[in-house]
Amino acid sequence: MSQEEQQHLEQDEARIVMRRHRTSVGLAVTAAVLLLIGWLVYGREGEKSAIAYVRFANAEGVEPGKTEVRCLGLKVGIVEKADYSADLHSVVLALRIDPLQKKLLRHDSRFWIEPARAPEPDSKDLVQAINGLATLIQGSYIVLKPGAETALADHFEGLEQPPATVTSDTPQPKPE
């Protein structure tokens, strides 16, 4: 074998090694991308938001995709869907709750719709007057008052009016 043929053979072998190297790198990059996509889509199970289903007599003032769910004045979710109940006598709202707020969905949590309303002109309660103005500007919202139980749930019966004893949205711990 001549030196020229030897050189061509070595060059061919070098090209084959380079192709294999590029193929290996390409496969590694493809595998890494697929793993990342899999993690983003399926692997973040603990970070997915929760859906709470709440039944109300009606959904007046509620707009899916717009109406917020609030706890202690902070947005913790949004109304994702509103639909009729199976018996067609009430509505069921699907509330998408932020992943870090799933803990608020306790078995005895309570929900009600805070309607948009104008403050009463003779109201001496400044907080109620300010809340009334805020709802006029922002619209109705769903109030979530977390319960004291630790068991979580995803189906609730909404209240038609705020509980008469609500003085604070802070859940009261059970005495030990």
Tell whether 175 is covered by a domain. Answer: no
**SS3 category, 44:** coil
User: Does 105 lie in the same domain as 141?
Assistant: yes
CA dihedral 138, 146, 123, 118 (to 10 degrees): 20
pLDDT digits (tens, 9 = 90+) for 95-135: 999 999 999 999 999 999 988 766 566 656 655 555 555 55
Q: How far is CA 28 from the centre of its chain?
A: 34
User: Does 30 lie in the same domain as 61?
Assistant: no
Tell whether 171 is covered by a domain. Answer: no
Tell whether 143 is covered by a domain. Answer: yes
Q: How many domains does the chain have?
A: 2
User: Does 55 lie in the same domain as 129?
Assistant: yes
* 159 CB-side CA count, 13 A: 15
CA distance 45 to 98: 13
Tell whether 89 is covered by a domain. Answer: yes
User: Does 53 lie in the same domain as 11?
Assistant: no
User: Does 65 lie in the same domain as 18?
Assistant: no
User: Does 56 lie in the same domain as 7?
Assistant: no
Residue ranges making up the domain that contains 68: 47-157
User: Does 87 lie in the same domain as 12?
Assistant: no
Contact 66, 141 (CB under 8 A): no
User: Does 51 lie in the same domain as 38?
Assistant: no
User: Does 151 lie in the same domain as 78?
Assistant: yes
Confidence of residue 23 (pLDDT cuts 50, 70, 90): low
Tell whether 176 is covered by a domain. Answer: no
User: Does 22 lie in the same domain as 71?
Assistant: no
User: Does 96 lie in the same domain as 13?
Assistant: no
Name the residue among 116, 113, 138 with its Cα closest to residue 54.
113
Q: Strand 68-71 and strand 50-56: pairing?
A: unpaired
CA distance 113 to 161: 7
Residue of higher predicted confidence among 80 and 17: 80
Tell whether 57 is covered by a domain. Answer: yes
pLDDT score at 39: 64
Q: What percentage of the chain exceeds 90 in pLDDT?
A: 46
User: Does 24 lie in the same domain as 70?
Assistant: no
Q: What share of the chain is helix, strand, coil (3-state, %, to 5)?
A: 35, 25, 40
Confidence of residue 142 (pLDDT cuts 50, 70, 90): very high
Q: Is the pLDDT of residue 149 over 70?
A: yes
0.85 exceeded by pTM: no
Contact 82, 56 (CB under 8 A): no
DSSP, residue by residue, 106-150: BTT-EEEEE---PPPTT---HHHHHHHHHHHHH--EEEEE--S--
